[in-house]
Amino acid sequence: MLKILVLGSAAGGGYPQWNCNCETCSGARTGKIRTTPRTQSSIAVSSDGICWLLVNASPDIGQQLREQQLLQPARSLRDTGITAVMLMDSQIDHTTGLLSLREHNTRLPLYCTQMVHNDLTSGFPVLTMLEHYCGVDWHEIAIDESWFTVPGITDLEFRPLVIDSKAPPYSPHRHDPHPGDNIAITIRDTSSGHSVFYSPGLGGLQERTREVMRSVDCLLVDGTTWTNEEMQTRGVGSKLASEMGHLQQSGSGGMIEELQPLSCRKILIHINNTNPILDEDSSQRTALADAGIEVAEDGMQIVL
């Protein structure tokens, strides 16, 4: 059985973001809108509900672990359900949480691509820092779409997919994209064959990405912004969503248009604090519901 636990469902900064007074953030604080706070995006997957693979380690991992008893099996005086960690990219909101795992009892098994490993030992040397604490055993994720397994995570297998997105600003090749800067992952239960496709960042959908998305039972995909110009129209930034490596939901070629024809379960994750879908009574949220698309929340459990 494939179990997916949404630890965090917001984009970088969480929701409401600590320094933001945009319409959604201020509405969340004052109670003017019906909404649910969210921590920064991360999921955990398991087959037995005891040993879990952490997929992306957000800066909010401490809070997430405290709130999710499933990840604390308490088999010994010091214990954790986290058996290994897998990274989709080297973005700060997906990797900073590694530092909070420094007290891991053994060296931390870490799965990521060569490009992500390069970033995390150079521009943002978190892996170098962890060698002074628990240490990290790195396992390279090849970008050839071959299936692989993670020791300790029984009955599940994983297949990476190179996607169109961006390396982080501190990456030595921020403006020189390399295959493996960003991946998505298909997770499949080897017993039932049920599968989920996880991609919190999608700058655009190539035909191969569409093909993989059509083959799974559930999608957990990029829901960062409603429009490409959202940061500008909300008055909080100048960058387009596409410049940050994200595909907007609305409009021609947007995520809704891409997802609506698919028959699988469709869930948006990595929701930016400016996105009007966070207002549960908004017309945008209604449009998603009409298209059969859900919005992830912290603590959401998916069983396939």
User: Given phi > 0 = left and psi -120 to 50 = alpha, else beta, which region is 152?
Assistant: left
Q: Which domains are present in the chain?
A: 3-303 (3.60.15.10)
- Counting residues of the chain whose pLDDT is more than 90, the rounded percentage is 87
pLDDT of residue 117: 97
- pLDDT higher than threshold 90 for residue 242: no
Residue 192 has a pLDDT of 97
DSSP state of 93: H
Average pLDDT, integer, range 76-93: 94
Cβ count near 284 (within 10 Å)? 17
7 vs 43: CA distance, rounded Å: 5
Tens digit of pLDDT for each residue in 146-178?
999 999 999 999 999 999 877 889 998 888 888
Listed in sequence order, the residues at least 6 apart from 156 whose beta carbon sits closer than 8 Å to its beta carbon are 2, 45, 46, 47, 53, 149, 150, 187, 188, 189, 190
CA gap 64, 42 in Å, rounded: 9
Q: How far is CA 117 from CA 114, 140, 159, in A?
A: 5, 8, 18
CA-to-CA dists, residue 133 to 104, 105, 108, 127, angstroms = 9, 10, 10, 10
Closest to 287 in 3D by CA, of 274, 277, 297, 278 = 277
* 129 Cβ contact partners less than 8 Å away, ≥ 6 residues apart: 99
pLDDT at residue 84, rounded to an integer: 98
- Distance, in Å, from the CA atom of 148 to the CA atom of 160, rounded to the nearest integer, reads 9
Q: Is the pLDDT of residue 134 over 90?
A: yes
Torsion of the alpha carbons at 252, 243, 93 and 91, rounded to the nearest 10: 120
pLDDT confidence of 243, banded at 50, 70, 90?
A: confident
pLDDT (0 to 100) of residue 95: 98
Half-sphere exposure (CA, 13 Å, Cβ side) for 206?
9
Confidence of residue 102 (pLDDT cuts 50, 70, 90): very high
Q: Is 10 a residue whose pLDDT tops 80?
A: yes
